[in-house]
Chain A
Amino acid sequence: MGVQSEALDARALREDFPVLDREFDGTPLVYLDNAATSQTPERVVESITDYYYSYNANVHRGIHNLSQEASIAYEEAHDTVGEFVGTDKREEIIFTKNTTEAMNLVAYAWGLNELGPGDEVVLTEMEHHASLVTWQQIAKRTGAECKYIPITEDGYLDMDAAKELITDDTAMVSVVHASNTLGTVNPVRELGEIAHDHGAYIFVDGAQSVPHRPVDVKELGCDFFAFSGHKMCGPTGSGVLYGKEHVLEAMEPYLYGGDMILKVTFEDSEWNELPWKFEAGTPSIVQGIALAEACEYLNEVGLDRIHRHTRELARYACEELTATDDVEVYGPPADDRGPLVAFNVDSVHAHDLASIVNDTGVAIRAGDHCTQPLHDVLGATASARASFYLYNTKDEVDALVEAVDDARQLFA
């Protein structure tokens, strides 16, 4: 682990990411769409090629050498990823395709069986569609009801409202840890305590928090926690569901098939032990192994340092962007936000803005960022979003601000 008190050297880290050398017609890439997907360091890509060149085989079913090597690497990947978020129990780490699949796993395996009329699922107005749409639809099928904790004027959760909304009728509180639009970091530990006081579970969507800050699921006290590998230097197709062992133990499987069974007859089947009970079929083996490599990479860089670095970039971007008063930034104040800035420029539609800044190599997201209902609350159909990671620099923020100014002039 690196010396955490030292600031992170983003310029040096850029060497680890070959894609950052890309140029478009001589203009260097300024990649500021990390909340959508992060870039992949060389050693993570190498862990993928190493698997395919050296020990590609199916897991859990071969006696031969390659299958043994692949099985051990895949299983140990669960341990590495588990330790990365604070659990030493392999049983509590289920590999999925992404956060959305982790969410659906719990919604189907637990929600469809346990929810019914009179039950309530409490979400937040800043939920990503991954959680919002999933619980909304499961609620429709079970007769349960979804309630939404409102946000305050400055983009925080209204905790007084949360205390009123979470009641003995609440069966599940599903809340985003760090908002992908507002940059708000929610008090999930406190929400978990409220949920548990009422006998409800809490599911935390950590897709935007795990890449950027040290996370300890035990300390947060959550029952479920999910995140995606491709937002934390890992490959696409890798995601994780953490669940408390006894909770997962009591749940029915989500997908049926090979590997998730112990014993099968024509009449019935017995389920495999955790976590394999929830990993039916040939899993995404190399994605899991590469995700573990990404965790090790991030550990070496240091999550504390990444946290400080990306927060500082967001603070700087917020200040620079709002230096002109035609820019509206959504979410908490500049000095208290996660590593992203969603904003609108008065005279320029977000999609036009993203198109124009792209001409100077600046990659940002424009749209609703999978938070349409939140955008309704904000009174915006879309917004532009710059999101930062360990390899971004203040110079790149300057490039963004300059490109935004170009757009402003074009539309003046």
Chain B
Amino acid sequence: MVSGSDMYRQQILDHYKNPRNYGELDDATFEHVGENPMCGDTIKLFVKLAEDDDTVEYVSFIGDGCAISQASASLLSEELQGMSLEAIREMDRDDIVDMLGVEISPMRVKCAVLAEKVAQDGAAIYVGDKELDETTTEE
């Protein structure tokens, strides 16, 4: 057994190596992109809403970056299906950490929350509460 960080449990490695819902979505209701400027992690999220214009029917993503950022996006893409835009916007940092199921070291939290921030900004922009070209994780 290879000695490895607790951060890199099987689930994260699995989602990194085999990302779920990976790819662009032609008929997305909205899409949004985000970046970790310091790390170079990028995530572009595609969201297709159901007829009620509020429930997520399908999410896909493309991206590039470290295992933490890409696995988070993959896990999140599964989590978001069926959620309302309001529920997405109410998610917080703990939700993503719970989803990952591991302790994220403080220096890597930005990588972990990138996808979530992209989803939240994307939802806020779509309903007209925010104007933003691109999400960044720099405060």
Contact = CB atoms under 8 A, between A and B. Distances in A.
Interface in A144-162: none
A361 to B, nearest CB: 11
A367 to B, nearest CB: 6
Contact of A351 (B6, B13, B64, B68): B68
A172 interface: no
A352 B7 CA distance: 9
A411 B40 contact: no
B34 to A, nearest CB: 14
17 contacts: A349-B66, A351-B65, A351-B68, A352-B66, A355-B5, A355-B8, A359-B3, A359-B4, A359-B6, A381-B64, A381-B65, A406-B2, A406-B3, A407-B4, A409-B2, A410-B4, A410-B13
Interface in B1-30: 2-8, 13, 16-17
A51 B134 CA distance: 51
Contacts of B2: 406, 409-410
B3 A368 contact: no
B8 A368 contact: no
A355 B13 contact: no
Interface of B: 2-8, 13, 16-17, 38-40, 64-68, 105, 108, 111
Contact of A356 (B5, B16, B17, B111): B5
A374 to B, nearest CB: 13
Given A351-B111, A410-B8, A411-B17, 17 more contacts: A349-B67, A350-B66, A351-B66, A355-B5, A355-B7, A355-B108, A356-B4, A356-B5, A358-B5, A359-B5, A367-B39, A368-B40, A381-B40, A406-B2, A406-B4, A407-B4, A411-B67
Nearest to A406: B2
A382 B111 CA distance: 14
B38 A368 contact: yes
Contacts of A358: 5
B63 to A, nearest CB: 12
Interface string A242-260: 0000000000000000000
Interface string A370-406: 0000010000011000000000000000000000001
Given A351-B108, A406-B3, A356 B40 contact: no
Contacts of A409: 2
B65 A356 contact: no
Nearest to B3: A406
Nearest first, the 6 closest Cβ-Cβ pairs linking A and B are A381-B40, A349-B66, A351-B66, A409-B2, A410-B4, A352-B67
Nearest to B70: A349
A203 to B, nearest CB: 26
A287 interface: no
A410 B4 CA distance: 7
A368 B35 CA distance: 15
Interface in A330-364: 349-352, 355-356, 358-360
B66 to A, nearest CB: 4
Contacts of A410: 2, 4, 8, 13
